[in-house]
Amino acid sequence: MVKVTGNLIMLVLAANIVFIAVSYYGYNLKFTNLYNRTFEEMAIVSKQYPLKVYFGHFKSSNMLRFDKYGIDYKVIENKEECQNGQRIFPNSILLKCP
């Protein structure tokens, strides 16, 4: 009886892991596609005029990402210099300055 109960618990836990993995995969895939599209669009726009961007504390990693996509940009060091900046992504510190 204990062995059967243990096997049932393991089966339920394994099914739970599969359900969670599927939902996380879909969520992350959706945002990965959004980020890729946005970066590709920014690369096209930045060829006409370089973007002014405030990176905040994540300067080096974001510079690598912008360089990877071929985005022309100018780094704004202080947030005060980026008045009325728009967030590039929801819940992100990255700001596109006017």
pLDDT at 51: 93
pLDDT value at 4 more than 90: yes
Q: Under DSSP, is residue 51 helix (H, G, I), strand (E, B) or coil?
A: strand
For residue 70, give the nearest of 50, 85, 86, 90 by alpha carbon. Answer: 50
Determine the Cα–Cα distance for residues 68 and 89; give it in Å rounded to an integer: 18
For residue 96, give the nearest of 71, 60, 64 by alpha carbon. Answer: 71
pLDDT at 93: 86
pLDDT at 39: 93
Domain encompassing residue 19? 2-97
The per-residue pLDDT for range 24-78, each reduced to its tens digit, is 999 999 989 998 999 999 999 999 999 999 998 888 888 999 999 999 999 998 8
């980020």: which residue's tokens?
35
pLDDT at 6: 93
pTM score over 0.75: no
Give the number of domains in the chain.
1
11's enclosing H/E stretch is helix 2-46
